Amino acid sequence: MIKKYIVLQNLTSMKKLKIALMVVMTMVLAGVFTSCKRDEKIVEVEKEVIKEVEKIVEKPVEVDNAYSRYLKAIVENVKAEKKNDKAILLVAFGSTWEQAFDAFDETIAAYKEAFPAYDVFLSYSSAICINRAAAGENTDPRNFYAPSFWLSAFANKDIQYKEIVIQSLQVIPGEEYTRVINYIKDFANNANGDLDDNYLAGVTLKLGVPLLQDKKTDVPKVAAELHKLYGDKAATDIVAFMGHGNPDSYDTYKANVRYTELEQALQKKSTNYFVGTVDMMKNFKTQVYDRMVAKGKTTSNLKVYLHPLMSINGDHGHNDMAGDDLPEDVDPENYTFAELQAMKNAEGEVEDCSWKMYYGAEGSGLSCDDSTVIPLGLLELPTIRQIWMNHTQDAIDGDPLDFYHSMFPEE
């Protein structure tokens, strides 16, 4: 009765009126308002009316909101694509650039070829990227959805994959990787209470770790593959990689250390490699420059080749690394490195200035311009992408996910 009352509260006034009229009709036919004795025909009519009332009361209420529309769209997509009883969900931070979309599409294709027993899908963990991609910020609009929608779709009664592998496309095991883990935990714990608990009790969940998860194995592998690709440039000039990084205030599990470790591994192959970030304290472009000075790299006008150390070449790569941005009031036709250096903030960074414009400024002792930009995300490098795919295979070959222990990579 309580459930029916709650549902009645959600009915339109017209439906409530219809129910009231049916109830009155039933009472009249049943002899409540007359002294007529109920005969079999009246009893049958009463039963039919009650059935109609129950249909209205029990009918699910259609909820029209963004969540229901998104979930419906993904369920339909997965139904149309489903060929196997196992799925791989790739989780990227996201982007709004066509180049990034192409890189993701290429990655999905590579995964489908490498893992033919699995259906492969891709999600964004960044709500900002999801919304801006849907709005067509830099190219034609395209819909991406958060992992929670995909996982809920995988549990739909008409789909219900037996095994789900979630592969993080993050570079370091930092804040965004933690978000991936929490999406999985919420799914496994039926956080919204709208999934089949019996299904959740039986589904196998596995997690593929980020590119630089492990100091002892992943860092040297990535360094070796990058050196194979760019060793010729590092032989005579500088190759500087720009990662994202986490601010110290949320440097989850101290994951920023992986950038330092990667630079150290690369410099064993050539002292012309450097790794900086957008957000890691004490590893901004200015502090990378200080390390270049300390190694005597700024006295010969060496070229500085710039390369994103992110899964895709998106907004940071196009703007923070290779853009034409300069601080306000700086004349782009007539500025010097000393002028930029004088604008360092309390953290030692020159804000609103791209790496290209900073290293290419007159007086830096370096050479950097559009010709020294390498506009490729890591997923566009097949040998680097393969390391992520190796993590996926390791997850498939390993035990089902242990949520808590997977959260603590080596610091």
Q: What is the DSSP code (8-state) at residue 319?
A: I
Residue spans of the chain under pLDDT 50: 1-14, 32-36, 404-409, 411
Q: What is the pLDDT of residue 405?
A: 42
Q: What is the pLDDT of residue 9?
A: 43
Within 121-243, residue ranges assigned H as helices are 127-135, 147-154, 175-188, 197-202, 218-234
Can you read off the two tokens belonging to residue 62?
Answer: 């259609």
Residue 277: other Cβ atoms inside 10 A: 26
Contact 38, 30 (CB under 8 A): yes
Q: What is the pLDDT of residue 68?
A: 87
DSSP codes joined into one string, 322-381: TS----TT--TTS-BHHHHHTT--TTS--TT--HHHHHTSBTSSEE-SGGGB----GGGS
Same fold? 66-211+386-407, 218-310+323-372: yes
The pLDDT tens digits for 32-85 are 444 445 567 666 766 776 666 566 555 555 666 878 888 999 999 999 999 999
Q: Sheet holding 273-277: strands in order across?
A: 273-277, 238-243, 302-308, 366-367
Q: What is the pLDDT of residue 3?
A: 38
Can you read off the two tokens belonging to residue 283?
Answer: 């590893």
Closest-CA residue to 206 (of 410, 400, 409)? 400
Closest-CA residue to 179 (of 133, 247, 124, 130)? 124
Domain positions in the chain are 2-58, 66-211+386-407, 218-310+323-372
Contacts of the segment 292-301: beta carbons below 8 A, 24+ positions apart: 292/238, 292/366, 295/271, 297/238, 297/271, 297/272, 297/366, 298/364, 298/365, 298/366, 299/365, 300/365, 301/365, 301/366, 301/367
Distances in whole angstroms, Cα of residue 342 to Cα of each of 3, 327, 360, 365? 68, 11, 16, 17
Burial of 395 (0-12, 13-18, 19+ CB in 10 A): buried
Please identify, in words, the CATH class of the domain defined by 66-211+386-407.
alpha beta
Residue 245: other Cβ atoms inside 10 A: 25
Q: What is the pLDDT of residue 63?
A: 61
Domain 218-310+323-372: give its CATH code. 3.40.50
